[in-house]
A and B are shown apart, each in its own frame.
Chain A
């Protein structure tokens, strides 16, 4: 296959379900997609790192938040990032958000049917000429276009909150407030504590980090 090479050794046996303790939110607003995630990496009972960015920027105009074990997530994210860049050089233009989402889904769907599946759930957000779009993907290769996306255990605690507060054409302030409410709910009720979160936004000007949302 004429795609970028990746280096895979023999996989150790492990369960297929990615860990659910990563917290990631995505919200579609008026002309932007806002994403936030926690920044903690756990290793058995320890918090190994608390400033990990779990939201990757692909090709300068797509945000991809990953959930799952760091190994698979980073491997998969790197692989996707390189292949999207290769597409850009070959075709003199970037892949659209929709096409990118389905490309990623295809990779996950192929992997789950192979001897070495990826344990990673994805929230993909981007803005192109069709407007803002958010896609929810999981390690089995499912894909859903959503207005509010949540991954992990956070789904159990914040979907109803999102349902109540989300509405069409939200301004940036409303979007930030919505996600902040969700984060507050998690801090209150979720067993696993987390300190910092990172907020990133993609709009027609591209991707940027919100330092003080």
Chain B
């Protein structure tokens, strides 16, 4: 059978700007497409990467307003959990919480499902990294690397080809893979990408524009070199 409202919500996600997550060696990276803002708009009011707790970060694709509700509820739950059991949440717990919340809205009357798909990344208190993806239907799955939003399929296929333990062995390689995957579907340029880096026991870092530009130019160079190799030699 079909639950049309859930499918419509998934369609809304497919229209949203792309978000990519890659789990590497001792690091999890989230990269999101930064839609170009109108000239008069303040750029920093569009926030697609949200910190849920010191060790959990979330990016989403889809309806921003819906995601805002989820982020708020998740933030309260992170603190409530710490209050009652004196332990920070595990990634699985908070993902399950968000997914259960989404599921409730697919089954009550008078409500519509959340039109947002979330990438939840971070490190558990025992230092294991995790990357989870939730879906408007309320399912959640764990991934080594995934994408949601516009052209997610293309990005995922790219990641399936390129992802290996070697290609994410260091932080820099992991960041490069995430950015490279995103640039498959996003207009090339450091100003169209925002990257968040999560390391164990460290606070989340948003990559500054200079480092990002360096990475993008490295990627461009690598792409050119690969294109050269593929050209038939006379």
Question: A interface vs B, CB < 8 Å?
Answer: 2-7, 78-79, 82-83, 85-86, 89-90
Contacts and interface: CB of A to CB of B under 8 A. Distances in A.
Contacts of B188: none
Contacts of A5: 76, 80, 83-84
Contacts of A78: 83
Contact of A89 (B51, B80, B84): B51
10 tightest Cβ-Cβ pairs between the two chains A and B: A82-B79, A82-B83, A86-B79, A5-B80, A89-B75, A4-B79, A4-B80, A78-B83, A85-B79, A4-B83
A3 B75 CA distance: 10
A162 to B, nearest CB: 35
Contacts of A4: 76, 79-80, 83
Which of A4, A7, A79, A90 counts the most B-chain CB atoms under 10 A from its CB? A4
B19 interface: no
Dominant secondary structure of chain A at its interface with chain B: helix
Contacts of A7: 84
Nearest to A89: B75
Given A4-B83, A78-B83, A89-B75, 10 more contacts: A3-B76, A4-B80, A5-B80, A5-B84, A6-B83, A82-B80, A85-B82, A86-B75, A89-B51, A89-B78
A83 B79 contact: yes
Dominant secondary structure of chain B at its interface with chain A: helix
22 contacts: A2-B76, A4-B79, A4-B80, A4-B83, A5-B76, A5-B80, A5-B83, A5-B84, A7-B84, A79-B83, A82-B79, A82-B80, A82-B82, A82-B83, A83-B79, A85-B82, A86-B79, A89-B52, A89-B53, A89-B78, A89-B79, A90-B72
Contacts of B79: 4, 82-83, 85-86, 89
A4 B82 CA distance: 10
Contacts of B82: 82, 85
Contacts, number: 33
Question: For chain B, which range describes its interface: under 10, 10 to 19, 20 to 34, or 35 or more residues?
Answer: 10 to 19
A199 to B, nearest CB: 26
Interface in B72-107: 72, 75-76, 78-80, 82-84
Contacts of A2: 72, 76
A90 B80 contact: no
Contacts of A89: 51-53, 75, 78-79
Contacts of A90: 72, 75
A71 to B, nearest CB: 15
B84 A86 contact: no
Nearest to A86: B79
Contacts of B52: 89
A88 to B, nearest CB: 9
Contacts of A82: 79-80, 82-83
Which of B72, B75, B80, B83 counts the most A-chain CB atoms under 10 A from its CB? B83
Contacts of A83: 79
Contacts of B75: 86, 89-90
Nearest to B72: A90
B193 to A, nearest CB: 21
A7 B80 CA distance: 10
Interface string B55-76: 0000000000000000010011
A124 to B, nearest CB: 20
A7 B79 CA distance: 13
A79 B86 CA distance: 11
Nearest to A79: B83
A90 B77 CA distance: 12
Nearest to A92: B51
Nearest to B47: A92
B88 to A, nearest CB: 11
A59 to B, nearest CB: 12
Contacts of B84: 5, 7
